[in-house]
Amino acid sequence: MEDVWKTSLPRLNEAAPDFSARTTQGPRKLADYRGQWLILFSHPADFTPVCTSEIVAFSRAYPRFKALGCELLGLSVDSTFSHVAWLRSIRDNFGVEVPFPIVEDQSMRVAHDYGMIQHGASDTSAVRAAFFIDPALKVRAMVYYPMSNGRSVEEFLRMLQAMQTSDQHDVATPEGWQPGDKAVLPPPATLAELNAWLAPPHDSGSLASAMLQLMNDGELRERLVRGGLETAANRSWLPLSRARRSCA
């Protein structure tokens, strides 16, 4: 039978596909989450061991997501009645109340709009997809896992904080970055910017002061000796001292 909805795939930094759906906490639509971060994540089926472990982990970490201004929204193609029974079972067996809603998507419309139905895996169940949606309702990151393997909630928290840090401080974060670790700045795009960075500072808290402090950094000094300041053309980055910018 031909699909009612055509599977598509959201694009990074573009508007998230709109939706309106029934959930375990009443009707929800994408616009309800404007002004805050949202992680929309799908799971293959209620009452399954891996999905249950994920829901329990997300529930226990929910206060940490809330503290970062982020809401959670689960989804599967099961009915609301199935979701409610499953959440009751989780409460009875694990002592965990699930604090966020789970979308009923029996029509698979939301799942198709977000590319959660992967026909190489299943035509009738969503894979483990997750979408980080920013306060402007744009998709900022996507994660896809196979049905057989659960996701790391700690990695979701790390990724959320990394993107928020990049937005707030105009920096990039290297592999394995954690809050408080060194971040990296883009190099100056013009000679005027470079001169401003290296000019004598007028106050100890200025960016120029921070950059001058970096001259004493061994790693940076070695790079300067080897080849000088690298340019934006080759997409290199200048390290930003943890002491000068703590990205907590």
Q: Which residues are identified as catalytic?
A: 51
> Taking phi first (over 0 means left), then psi (-120 to 50 degrees means alpha), and beta for anything else, what does residue 180 get?
left
**51 touches 92 (CB < 8 A):** no
Q: Where are the beta strands (DSSP E) in the chain?
A: 20-21, 28-29, 37-42, 70-76, 102-104, 128-133, 139-145, 183-185, 238-240
Euclidean distance between CA atoms 94 and 54, whole angstroms = 12
Beta bridge partners of 70: 37
Determine the residue type at 122. S
**141 touches 12 (CB < 8 A):** yes
The 3-state DSSP class for residue 169 equals helix
